[in-house]
Structure 1
Amino acid sequence: MKNTQPVNYDVIKNEWQLLINKTNTATHQTLIALSDEEIGSLVDAYYQYMLQDEKAQLFLSTSQVEERLSASMINWLRKVLGSSREDLSELIAHQRKVGEVHARIGLPIELVARGARKLKYELFQLLLSKAQLTAAEINQAIFFSGMAIDSAIEVMTVAFTPSHQKMMHDQEHFRLLTVYDDMSVERERQLGALKDWENQFIYNVATELPFEERVLLSDSEFGLWFSHKGQHIFRQPDLIHKIDSLIQKIDRLIATEFANDSADMLSRIHLLRLLRQDVEQVNMILSSIFEEIVKSENGKDPLTRLLTRRFIPTIMRREIALSIGSGKSFTIALLDIDYFKQINDSYGHSVGDNTLKSIAVWLHEHVRSSDYVFRYGGEEFMLLLVETPLAQAQTLMERLRNDIASQVIEVDVNTSFNITISAGLAEFDNHPDYQWLINKADKMLYQAKNNGRNRIESYSLGIEHTL
């Protein structure tokens, strides 16, 4: 990625300060004196407008506005309009942070500009309605407030650009990343999963298993893998679209034709032939994609062969979008090897490295092919469990914790030891910033360590008041 020149925010700060100095005290006081009701009405109009935008709905919800965003926007507008009495360095630092968050969640910059335009329009209308102000005073207030908001948005945009460029670079790299050590093995695994589903479905029909107990292809192991990984790492959008269309076609066939339990045997055989034809097409297309995919090992941890944290933003942004669109939640887990430093100190770093590699293997054995496993750093790992609510994730992690505790790490023929892990879980709560979710899981990991280690702690509503 091409390096971006460092931004000199002092230029923006100096021009903003000059704007403040050249604006008379009465104008500053007019804007500072806007009532809570007036500021609140501006923010309400802003969010009512933004919630009508289809793109904005991916990042906003009525509950988020009411519970958190409205108060934050009121505070932001107060500080920008009252920037004459603010520490300008701190105010600019806050705008930079906001811009970086916008880049992190993938918020389109045009939405920010559109929102600013609407906010200024409502503010200008409010100022024009103030009969006690002269035309000159109104013009001064409109000029300063517009320039101050533009200055804040400029800082956000400048901070947004390099973060967004890095995000796009990593996203493109991940798209090219196969994330597998051996593509031939992964090819056989997924084609096998597809065949297993087909055979199981045919068996279920033959044995007259109740319709509601039959698994749709999209909900199968293969379907989850394709939805959460296959579509993202393959570069042939036309072929991906064909597979997706075939999966939907197969699911419709199951939901309509196979739902008729009274159909005779000949009708069922005919339907099964149609289903097998579609599954075979999926098989053929998938095989061709695997044959053409370009293998790239960059981005994997060289020791454990897991994904590095570099790709967490790309993957989590995608999972957040999928979760919001489908209404199906996901859970992340941050886990840490207990007393890992003692292992290195007692047995040496080579044994420590082997321990990390063993953990990586055990993690993969306990998750589905649709889930993600990262080496988060040092002896810390992160799991992203797709379409997995918190209760289900807790069960999985407890099983993982117990299984790891039962494993034996051999140093030599006479020496061995056991290890344990601590983990923190957090379920996606519709907050668009993935770092918000990671921070919650990290708090729970910290709590698990404080509570004695070798345990799982989960984030729940209201728990932040006790931390």
Structure 2
Amino acid sequence: MKLNGQYYDALIMKEWHDLIAITSDAAHNILISLLDEDIDLLVDDFYDSMLGDDDARLFLSSQQVKDRLHGTLAQWIRGVLSSSTADLPALVAVQRKVGDVHARIGIPIDLVARGARRVKISLYTRLRRDITDLTLCYDAMRFSSLVMDMAIEVMTTAYSRSHENSTKDKENYRLLSILDNVHVERERQLAAVLNWENRFIYNVATGLPLAEIAPLAEAEFGLWFQHKGRYVFESVDQVAAIEALLTGADAFIASYSAEKVAVVEERYILLRTVRSQVQKIGTLLAGLFDELAKFENGKDPLTNLLNRRFIPTILRREIALAMRSGTPFVMAMLDIDYFKSINDRFGHDAGDAALKDIAAILHESVRSSDYVFRYGGEEFMLLFVEASESQAIAIINSIRDRLENRPLHPSGGGKVSLTVSVGLCLFDGHPDYERLIKKADSALYLAKRNGRNRTETYRDGQPAAAGDEV
């Protein structure tokens, strides 16, 4: 049974509090003293062991990651092993944040546990070396072991929730790719339901035994819905309603004997009831496909660009490819200048027209291998794969020139010159895509601050968005 977040936090903090309480002051002091003397050696031992692991090397080999993680790991070890009752709410929040980051980067959960075990082994070796009192040594080992287990457990619960959500999006993205064309699939499945109904009516009218009529759940549509459809659609209530109608139709048909079908009035009830259930299935199915076509296929309904839902799935994949191949890629955040004034002066129809116009130019200007997302409102994200910074800047400047030279003419009269501000960031080898987004967003902010209608590139040392460090 899954525990809700507040109950789980209260439970883990009570256990953590109880562990602190039963551990002697001497054991606490020994651990704090050891951390003061050997914290860097503990982290070095961790790296020496983990960099020999092929799975770990993918996430730890970047020099930037090493430089950042050395201090972060030391801070984590110190925070957990020297924890006090007053620290617990903040400590639990930190473990949850780290678990979310691990899931976002895609670090395997077993790798996290393996790394914690390496830290424990190194710690135990030093405790045995420094403590001659066996009772005190046991007390310090018990505390360090259990408190690290608690920290990893909190991480794991957060990781599991985040990983489950990202896996669901990834699976939906894959399944939607399998569907190829939502509109085509919609017509195919609606036709399959109708074909089953027509065959059923014909068979009943011609006196074919009901046992020889394929149940709807085993017909073409029923099989498709069971193996594909129910996993693509996210409306739980409507999916459950279709499943209930499938089951109900087949059960109702099965309740009729040959003698009952031979009675005209009963046969009429059978045909009318089944037809009503099939029509309800068709209506629900059409609604689900309509929603899928607008939102769940990853396309923004206004601009027909990818929406931001699948950004994590695509960025994780591109980062993995870039890290394996060593090829660069560039992210750009693009914002329409003074977009609010367009809406205020000419109305929302003009604003929508501006968004559509810019989306069309973006789509036409990038390579087929690149990605264009409507990030939200008047902001767009572009991903230039296997591209250098100079190549990305050339494409962006071409886009800006096209926009400036193609003003918008609202239906109410007047002319709108569209300009955009752009922030670029070259992939730096760090596996966390959120850092890349924040850096590109920071460059975009600089472009807007420096006068708009320009392109800025993120440089090391430039302040990034808050919350970047984990």
TM-score (normalizing by structure 2): 0.72
Matched with 2:381 is 382
Matched with 1:140 is 139
Q: How is 1:51-450 mapped onto 2 (pairs within 5 angstroms)?
A: 51-61=51-61, 63-84=63-84, 87-131=87-131, 133-178=132-177, 297=293, 298=296, 299-412=298-411, 414-450=413-449
CA contact (8 A) 1:95 1:152 kept: yes
Aligned to 1:394, the other structure's residue is in SS state helix
State the alpha-carbon separation in 1 of the partners of residues 178 and 395 from structure 2.
23
State the Cα distance separating 1:415 from its structure 2 match. Answer: 2.0
TM-score (normalizing by structure 1): 0.72
State the Cα distance separating 1:464 from its structure 2 match. Answer: 3.2
State the alpha-carbon separation in 2 of the partners of residues 182 and 116 from structure 1.
46
State the alpha-carbon separation in 2 of the partners of residues 169 and 115 from structure 1.
27
Aligned AA (1:56) = A
Aligned AA (1:122) = S
CA contact (8 A) 1:335 1:380 kept: yes
Change (3 A) 1:399 1:363: same
Matched with 1:287 is none
State the alpha-carbon separation in 2 of the partners of residues 333 and 400 from structure 1.
12
Change (3 A) 1:65 1:178: closer
Matched with 1:279 is none
Aligned to 1:453, the other structure's residue is in SS state coil
CA contact (8 A) 2:62 2:430 kept: no
Aligned AA (1:407) = R
Identical aligned residues as a percent: 50
Unaligned runs of 5+ in 1: 185-234, 236-293
State the alpha-carbon separation in 1 of the partners of residues 62 and 418 from structure 2.
46
Larger-Rg structure: 2
State the Cα distance separating 1:86 from its structure 2 match. Answer: 5.6
Aligned AA (1:329) = P
CA contact (8 A) 1:337 1:380 kept: yes
State the Cα distance separating 1:48 from its structure 2 match. Answer: 1.5
State the alpha-carbon separation in 2 of the partners of residues 183 and 139 from structure 1.
62
Aligned to 2:344, the other structure's residue is in SS state helix
State the Cα distance separating 1:85 from its structure 2 match. Answer: 6.8
Aligned to 2:460, the other structure's residue is in SS state coil
CA contact (8 A) 2:439 2:464 kept: no
CA contact (8 A) 1:426 1:459 kept: yes
Aligned AA (2:319) = I
Aligned to 1:461, the other structure's residue is in SS state coil
Aligned to 1:374, the other structure's residue is in SS state strand
State the alpha-carbon separation in 2 of the partners of residues 322 and 34 from structure 1.
41
State the alpha-carbon separation in 2 of the partners of residues 441 and 319 from structure 1.
16
CA contact (8 A) 2:335 2:378 kept: yes
State the alpha-carbon separation in 1 of the partners of residues 163 and 386 from structure 2.
27
State the alpha-carbon separation in 1 of the partners of residues 3 and 374 from structure 2.
28
State the Cα distance separating 1:463 from its structure 2 match. Answer: 2.5
State the Cα distance separating 1:159 from its structure 2 match. Answer: 0.6
Richer in helix (by share): 2
CA contact (8 A) 1:30 1:141 kept: yes
| Range with bigger deviation, 32-41 or 371-380 | 32-41
Matched with 1:243 is none
State the Cα distance separating 1:176 from its structure 2 match. Answer: 2.4
Matched with 2:188 is none
State the alpha-carbon separation in 2 of the partners of residues 104 and 152 from structure 1.
18
State the alpha-carbon separation in 2 of the partners of residues 346 and 464 from structure 1.
35
Matched with 1:193 is none
Change (3 A) 1:446 1:328: same
State the Cα distance separating 1:33 from its structure 2 match. Answer: 1.0
State the alpha-carbon separation in 2 of the partners of residues 305 and 324 from structure 1.
30
Q: Name the Cα RMSD after superposition.
A: 2.6
Aligned AA (1:177) = L
Aligned AA (1:60) = L
State the Cα distance separating 1:88 from its structure 2 match. Answer: 1.1
Aligned AA (1:399) = S
State the alpha-carbon separation in 2 of the partners of residues 348 and 62 from structure 1.
49
Aligned to 1:409, the other structure's residue is in SS state coil
Matched with 2:190 is none
Aligned AA (1:89) = P
Aligned pairs, number: 357
Change (3 A) 1:32 1:463: same
Change (3 A) 1:4 1:305: farther
Unaligned runs of 5+ in 2: 184-227, 229-288
Change (3 A) 1:446 1:96: same
Q: How is 1:447-462 mapped onto 2 (pairs within 5 angstroms)?
A: 447-462=446-461
Aligned to 1:426, the other structure's residue is in SS state strand
State the alpha-carbon separation in 1 of the partners of residues 465 and 360 from structure 2.
35
- The one-character-per-residue Cα deviations of 1:419-455 (angstroms, maximum 9, x if unpaired) are 1000110011111100000000000111111111101
